[in-house]
Every structure is written in structure tokens, then in C-alpha cells.
Chain A
């Protein structure tokens, strides 16, 4: 049988890191295929190689059996390939139909020849009439709901004669009702012969929308399967996504740790982000929170640190209720966050290592007049650089000139310098090499002897490998809480992608 799209043996590496290795996939006309895999498995790289954002290192792309040269998004468009990303970019003040036809307003002889609005509007209405929904294309985009924006973005792709549509987590900001509208749209597109690549973390959507799925793991496709009777076995898929077991990366759990209560979180909620989160973090332990990207765990980490405000619930530390209005207050109350995004939240770009290490606790580096004691600062920062074995020629090296692992170690060193009773590590090892990873994990275990340590991550292995107790968050709610010894990676992942239920479409 002839495929609409065939990708074969795609290789792509970034700075020596193999992101895709011999990956392939096929797509029939009118088929919707889900791409599944944990973060960093290669899904995004795969679709970006198809949509021309990345140039692949090796491999072929065939459309209708013919090889195509795709080196830029423009080439991809010419081959009938369009991608719609989550929260699509549009010109807010333009109407829906102006956005649909943006850049293809028809032949114009000169820069100043007027755009025929009536014709565009007519064309848009005609386009919309082929689909089962009402949308007012004369409304400016900034007045539109998320699903209407999504539809406009898809219509824009269709107006360019799109035959292969890539939807990248299209439902991440949609409500249940809006999702239904989008799914109806996708079904109609399939009937009209459009082939769809659908990226999502949610298995219930896969069952509702897709005909087949491919699972990515470590840059390879480990399985292609068709979906029969609208049923997806989440256990089986979780196993495929994870593959290998826990390695020796994680330090041993001490058997003699003295455990005592420290931080109590009760019914913590933030509207639209997370709801009713309750747990206790204890001195002597590492508490793990696992959830996928977008599940609300990033907001949760910032709320515990005073950088975002809860809408309900309380944070109690050592018996006292905390009202944290800012990170500064949290630091003074003995809470420190190693934030999720190192570049924009972790280190100070263009400033020296010593500067970065002492910034959260300057009173420790200053004398009574408030002047920095440079010698003391250098000594203290130097001791932390040695302790975490940060590889640098000197303390006045700019942090942005270090490798990712060493940058992250500087952020951790900042926390050690500040000193805290509660350490929160959010996504602590994104873009960090294995050596630095194990150093950071060891530091976490070390800290847990005298402080409560919380690891919040979208990597299940790192949560289970480090934590003594784990919580899984699914769409902002607690889906599971267990001692690490009593659960498995698979169980955690099943809860994170489907709330623990086998889903039916």
C-alpha cells in the first residue's frame, strides 16, 4: 500500500547529543497518528525535522512515494506540511479571516495595491462552511477563545492546501468542552483525507482522535501500532515509553536518617493550575513530586517559594503558617527553590560565579556597614565551588560561559550559601550531563540529613530514584501518593498520563 508520508532513518544530533537515531514513521491518507514519549524522547525533533525547522543529518522523507527536499518551513509548506503548535502565534488585532490568509492575500502587483477584504472574507466563509462548527471569522483574534484560535490556526494551514497536519499538544490550554469541538474538527479533517500527526501526553485523547500511535524512546521509535476499538492500554504504553530500569545514578537511601516533620502543605490550590495539593515534607527525607510538563508542577514549585500566590490552602512550616508574598520572604523563612528554568530563573547572565552564589544571602557576605567583604565572599564561594566540584578556571568566570551542568551546580551552590530548612529542586537536571546529575543528586541526599528536600520533576526516573515518598500530579490534582519502595515507574507514569485508568474513546 502506498503511504501519504514516509519518514525513514532520520538522524539528528545537537552538539554531539544524538536526539534522533534512525527514527521513522508512516502515515496513510486520512490517518491520525499519535506520537508518544517522555520529554526528550525525540518527538519534537522528529516533527521539527518534518516541518523544516531543523535540517535532518540523515534520512529520507517521502510524500506519495516521492522523495522531498525539506530544508525550511517554506519547503515543508510547499509539500503540503503544516504544523500548529500549542498557543499559536497570530496578529491579535487582525480578524480571523485576515489571520487565515496572512501572507497569502493574493497576487498583488505592488506593495501598495489594496487587499481585497471582501474576497478574503468570502473565501474564509466558504472554507469554514466545510466544517462542523460555527466560528465568527470577522471577530478580531484577541477576542477569541483558545479553541477558536486553534481553529483559526488550523484553517490557516488548510488554506495553504495542507495535506499533512502536525498538531503539537493542541489541547494543553483547552477546556473539556472545547476539546470536544477540536476533536470533531479533527475527525472531519480525517474524512476529507488530511493526514494528522498528533503529539500529546494524554492517552484519553489518543483513544478519541487517533488511529495509530508510535512510541519514542531515547531518539528511537520503539513501537508502531494501530488502535483497535478505540482502546489504549496505558500500562503497556508506559512500559514502552520507559524501557530501561533505574540505573546506578542515584545515591543510596540512608537507613539511619532521623526523620522529623518540617513542611506541611494543606489543600494548596491555584486556579487553573493545580488543586487541593496536600503533603508533608520531612527533615531526613526527600519528597518527590512527579507530573508531566503543563500538569501544574512548575506553578506549584513557585507557590511553595512565594513567587506565585495560592488561591486556597495553607503552607505550614514547623507548626507556623507561612504567608509568603515574595521569594525574599521565603528565603528568610528558610525555604529555597532551585527553579525549573536555569537560563531565565536560575543564574544571572553575564555575572561572575561568586556574584551568583552569594546573591540570595548578601548579608552573610557583607559587613555591618553593608559593604561586601570580598575576601570572605571569595573564600566562601570558593569552598562551595570545590564542594560541588564546579569545573571553572576561576570565581570571576561568567556563569553563562560554563557548561549546563556547571551552571546548574552554581544555582545549587547559591542555595547552599543561602542555607535553608526546605530545599525545593524543580527540574534540577534538564540539559545537565551525567556527571553533574549524580553530583546534584548526591547534594540533595546530603542536604536531606538536616533539611526537608522536595524534588519536583517531569522525569519519573529521577523522582523515583531520589525520593523516599512520591506524589504524582495529573492535570493539577494528586493522582497518587506512595512510599517509593511501594510503587514502580510504570505505576507513576500511568497515573501521570491517565490518572491511573485505562481509557476508552
Chain B
């Protein structure tokens, strides 16, 4: 007879209990919390967090950090709005935004992988360059021109069978990334590089390529999240994703505390919890900084929990130039 509650399943069960407890608490405090409108609202906001956090998962898996994704995403978001205002078709503008995310991620990846620069400080610098460049051509102003007219906001607002488009996008991203990272032979390379880099190299893994690809995936998905958030606001704003750094890291680390390794499923659950907490605070009219504060505590707790029983090399809050 198999035991229902194995040591591996225990954290999952605890997570489920915690999640239900959070939902019930907010529902008791605010009867409208689990209304259809609010659920759709949460779903939209979960979508962008999940998409960006899944990208970050790849970088954490290779035992590194990316502090640039939320700033370069600002560039991609504002680039998309700017192109739309210049009369580009929204689909082309979104494609250009994704391409810019790919380029920024590629720059970070080459710097950290090929040139062995320290990951944290380098990505802070690259993110800062990206954000600065976004500011230059948006002038820091909102870009509203032609946005609604061209239906660019459909990226967030279009509904298919009553479900908003970002939810579909999120599901596609989660499924594809799940297979890529956790089921494919290619995904093994990310875990191998994250565990023992030299062993990975001596086992035939192309370490530099794996590092570059991890950063590219992170950049592209952050750009996608930024454009969804831009579409939701209905105008281009260079600060659009300045707030997603914490939720994304927290989501990844909650996932690690549940599954003891970075993974797409864990990140998805983590993002769900983080978003429910922050929207919950908003719905009971507690100011945003309380939600920041609580997210901070959740992140610290998740980091600590992720180290318990976690044998995967160095489980670290921030990545590792220390090689």
C-alpha cells in the first residue's frame, strides 16, 4: 500500500492548504473577492506574472540571476506602443517587441555565458541601459496615439468564450515551457549547468549556448508580459513592468520551496499565490506597499523553505558569479 503523504508530496499539500486559507481569508474580508469579475481580473494579472516568472525560471535553473528582465521589458512594452502610434499593425508591433526582448536577453546571455561576467551586476547594468533607452524614445510620456483605434489593447482585452486572451497565451507559454524545461532532452542541459557546470561541460553540454538561451527565453517572455500589461492599460508607459521584479522572483522561489528545484509547474503555482495575495490586498483597500511588504516576507520564507531538503547544489537567493 502506497502512502498518500510522501515526503515529496507533503510540501504540495501544505501549499494547497495555504492557498485555500488565503482565498478563504480574502473572501471573508471582501465578499466580492471571488466574484466572476474579480476572478477574471485576477486571471489577467496572473497571466503576465506567470509569463515573466516562467522565463525567469530558466535563468534560476542554470544557477544564475537576471535582474534585467523587468527593466528591458519596459523597453519592449513602450516600443510596441510607439510602433503602434507610428501606424504599425499591432501584430507587427508585438512581434517587434518580442524581438527586442530576444535581443536584450541575448546581450545578457552572451555577457554572462560567453564573457563570464558576473551575472547580477551585469544584468543590472544591461537592464538599466534598456530602461534608459525606453525612456529616450518615449520621452517618459504616455503613448496613447492610435492605441485603442488600432485595437492593440485586444492583446489583453479580447475574450474568447468569455476568457481573456492573456489566459490562453499564458497556458500556451506554460505548456510549451513545461515540455521544454522538464520533459525534453534540451531541458536537461539547463538543470545540468545549474547543478555542476564543469560536469555538464565534460558531459558534452554546450554550456555557453544553454546560458545564452536561458537569458533569451527570460527576455522574450518578459517582453511578452510587458506588452500584455501595456495592452491592459491601453497606452504605452515606460514604467509598465517596474513592479514585476519581486513577484517573479517570489513565484520562482515558492515553486522551489514546493518542488525542491526550479520548475515551470512550481513557478505557475507560486505566481498564482503571489497574485492572489496582492490583488487580495487591493480588493480590501489596503495600500500597495503593504502587499510589497508581505510579498517580501513570502519571498524570504520561500527561499528558506526551498533550502530545506534541497540538495540541488547551491540553492541561492541570487545567482552565482561565484564559480
Number of chain B residues close to chain A: CB under 8 A: 24
Report the bound CA distance from A365 to B185 in whole Å: 8
Within 8 A of A (CB), among B170-203: 179, 183-186, 188, 191-192, 195-196, 198-203
Question: Any chain B CB within 8 A of the CB of A359?
Answer: yes
Task: Given A366-B185, A370-B184, A370-B185, verify A359-B202 contact (CB < 8 Å).
Answer: no
Report the bound CA distance from A491 to B200 in whole Å: 38
Residues on B with beta carbons closer than 8 Å to the beta carbon of A414: 203
Question: Any chain A CB within 8 A of the CB of B7?
Answer: no
Please state if A349 and B206 are interface contacts (CB–CB under 8 Å). no
Residues on B with beta carbons closer than 8 Å to the beta carbon of A346: 199
Report the bound CA distance from A16 to B204 in whole Å: 37
Closest residue on chain A to residue B260 by CB atoms: A350
Please state if B179 and A371 are interface contacts (CB–CB under 8 Å). yes
Question: Any chain B CB within 8 A of the CB of A339?
Answer: yes
Report the bound CA distance from A459 to B203 in whole Å: 25
Fill in one digit per residue for A342-360: 1 if any B CB lies within 8 Å of its CB, else 0.
0111111111000100111
Please state if B203 and A360 are interface contacts (CB–CB under 8 Å). yes
Residues on B with beta carbons closer than 8 Å to the beta carbon of A349: 195-196, 199, 311-313
Report the bound CA distance from A400 to B312 in whole Å: 9
Question: Any chain B CB within 8 A of the CB of A326?
Answer: yes
Residues on B with beta carbons closer than 8 Å to the beta carbon of A400: 311
Q: How far is the CB of A211 from chain B (nearest CB, A)?
A: 42
Within 8 A of B (CB), among A255-270: none
Within 8 A of A (CB), among B138-169: none
Task: Given A350-B312, A366-B184, verify A331-B204 contact (CB < 8 Å).
Answer: yes
Report the bound CA distance from A372 to B186 in whole Å: 9
Number of chain A residues close to chain B: CB under 8 A: 37
Please state if B313 and A363 are interface contacts (CB–CB under 8 Å). no
Please state if B199 and A398 are interface contacts (CB–CB under 8 Å). no
Choose among B186, B191, B198 the residue that contacts A355 (Cβ–Cβ < 8 A): B191
Report the bound CA distance from A362 to B199 in whole Å: 15
Please state if B206 and A326 are interface contacts (CB–CB under 8 Å). yes
Question: Any chain B CB within 8 A of the CB of A221?
Answer: no
Please state if A344 and B203 are interface contacts (CB–CB under 8 Å). no
Please state if A328 and B312 are interface contacts (CB–CB under 8 Å). no
Within 8 A of A (CB), among B265-323: 310-313
Q: How far is the CB of A483 from chain B (nearest CB, A)?
A: 31
Question: Any chain B CB within 8 A of the CB of A327?
Answer: yes
| Secondary structure of the B contact surface, majority rule | helix
Please state if B198 and A372 are interface contacts (CB–CB under 8 Å). no
Residues on A with beta carbons closer than 8 Å to the beta carbon of B185: 362-363, 365-366, 370-372
Please state if A360 and B204 are interface contacts (CB–CB under 8 Å). yes
Question: Any chain B CB within 8 A of the CB of A307?
Answer: yes
Please state if B313 and A350 are interface contacts (CB–CB under 8 Å). yes
Report the bound CA distance from A365 to B184 in whole Å: 10
Q: How far is the CB of B114 from chain A (nearest CB, A)?
A: 14
Choose among B183, B192, B310 the residue that contacts A372 (Cβ–Cβ < 8 A): B183
Please state if A307 and B201 are interface contacts (CB–CB under 8 Å). yes
Please state if B184 and A351 are interface contacts (CB–CB under 8 Å). no
Task: Given A339-B202, A350-B311, verify A359-B196 contact (CB < 8 Å).
Answer: no
Report the bound CA distance from A348 to B191 in whole Å: 9
Fill in one digit per residue for B193-226: 1 if any A CB lies within 8 Å of its CB, else 0.
0011011111111100000000000000000000
Task: Given A365-B185, A370-B186, A371-B184, verify A347-B201 contact (CB < 8 Å).
Answer: no
Please state if B200 and A359 are interface contacts (CB–CB under 8 Å). yes
Please state if A327 and B312 are interface contacts (CB–CB under 8 Å). no
Fill in one digit per residue for A18-29: 1 if any B CB lies within 8 Å of its CB, else 0.
000000000000
Residues on B with beta carbons closer than 8 Å to the beta carbon of A355: 188, 191-192
Please state if B206 and A328 are interface contacts (CB–CB under 8 Å). yes
Please state if A337 and B186 are interface contacts (CB–CB under 8 Å). no
Residues on A with beta carbons closer than 8 Å to the beta carbon of B184: 366, 369-372
Closest residue on chain B to residue A364 by CB atoms: B185
Residues on A with beta carbons closer than 8 Å to the beta carbon of B186: 370
Among B192, B196, B203, B261, the one with the most A-chain Cβ atoms within 10 Å of its Cβ is B203
Q: How far is the CB of A354 from chain B (nearest CB, A)?
A: 11
Report the bound CA distance from A360 to B184 in whole Å: 14
Q: How far is the CB of B208 from chain A (nearest CB, A)?
A: 10
Question: Any chain B CB within 8 A of the CB of A92?
Answer: no
Q: How far is the CB of A411 from chain B (nearest CB, A)?
A: 9
Closest residue on chain B to residue A307 by CB atoms: B202
Question: Any chain B CB within 8 A of the CB of A305?
Answer: yes
Task: Given A370-B186, A371-B179, A372-B185, verify A359-B313 contact (CB < 8 Å).
Answer: no
Q: How far is the CB of A414 from chain B (nearest CB, A)?
A: 7
Report the bound CA distance from A307 to B204 in whole Å: 10
Residues on B with beta carbons closer than 8 Å to the beta carbon of A318: none
Please state if A327 and B202 are interface contacts (CB–CB under 8 Å). yes
Report the bound CA distance from A363 to B185 in whole Å: 7
Among B186, B191, B202, B311, the one with the most A-chain Cβ atoms within 10 Å of its Cβ is B202
Residues on B with beta carbons closer than 8 Å to the beta carbon of A332: 204
Closest residue on chain B to residue A374 by CB atoms: B183
Closest residue on chain B to residue A361 by CB atoms: B204
Task: Given A327-B203, A370-B184, verify A398-B311 contact (CB < 8 Å).
Answer: yes
Please state if A351 and B205 are interface contacts (CB–CB under 8 Å). no
Task: Given A344-B196, A347-B199, A398-B311, verify A372-B188 contact (CB < 8 Å).
Answer: yes
Question: Any chain B CB within 8 A of the CB of A226?
Answer: no
Task: Given A348-B196, A400-B311, verify A305-B202 contact (CB < 8 Å).
Answer: yes
Residues on A with beta carbons closer than 8 Å to the beta carbon of B191: 348, 351, 355
Please state if A401 and B202 are interface contacts (CB–CB under 8 Å). no
Closest residue on chain A to residue B261 by CB atoms: A350
Please state if A351 and B192 are interface contacts (CB–CB under 8 Å). yes
Q: How far is the CB of A307 from chain B (nearest CB, A)?
A: 6
Report the bound CA distance from A355 to B196 in whole Å: 13
Report the bound CA distance from A263 to B11 in whole Å: 52
Residues on B with beta carbons closer than 8 Å to the beta carbon of A305: 202
Q: How far is the CB of A393 from chain B (nearest CB, A)?
A: 13
Please state if A348 and B202 are interface contacts (CB–CB under 8 Å). no
Among A328, A339, A369, the one with the most B-chain Cβ atoms within 10 Å of its Cβ is A328
Residues on A with beta carbons closer than 8 Å to the beta carbon of B196: 343-345, 347-349
Report the bound CA distance from A337 to B203 in whole Å: 9
Please state if B201 and A359 are interface contacts (CB–CB under 8 Å). no
Closest residue on chain A to residue B208 by CB atoms: A326
Closest residue on chain B to residue A350 by CB atoms: B312
Report the bound CA distance from A332 to B206 in whole Å: 13
Within 8 A of B (CB), among A23-77: none
Residues on A with beta carbons closer than 8 Å to the beta carbon of B310: 350
Residues on A with beta carbons closer than 8 Å to the beta carbon of B195: 348-351
Closest residue on chain B to residue A359 by CB atoms: B203
Please state if A345 and B311 are interface contacts (CB–CB under 8 Å). no
Q: How far is the CB of A319 from chain B (nearest CB, A)?
A: 24
Residues on A with beta carbons closer than 8 Å to the beta carbon of B312: 349-351
Q: How far is the CB of B171 from chain A (nearest CB, A)?
A: 19
Report the bound CA distance from A344 to B195 in whole Å: 10
Closest residue on chain B to residue A330 by CB atoms: B204
Closest residue on chain B to residue A362 by CB atoms: B185
16 residue pairs of the A-B complex, CB under 8 angstroms, read A307-B201, A307-B202, A328-B204, A331-B204, A344-B199, A345-B196, A345-B202, A347-B196, A347-B199, A349-B311, A350-B312, A359-B204, A366-B184, A370-B186, A371-B184, A372-B184
Q: Sorted from nearest, which 3 A-B pairs have the closest CB atoms?
A: A350-B312, A362-B185, A328-B204
Name 14 extra pairs, CB < 8 A, besides A350-B311, A418-B204: A326-B201, A326-B206, A344-B196, A345-B198, A347-B199, A348-B196, A349-B195, A349-B196, A350-B310, A351-B195, A355-B188, A360-B204, A371-B185, A372-B184
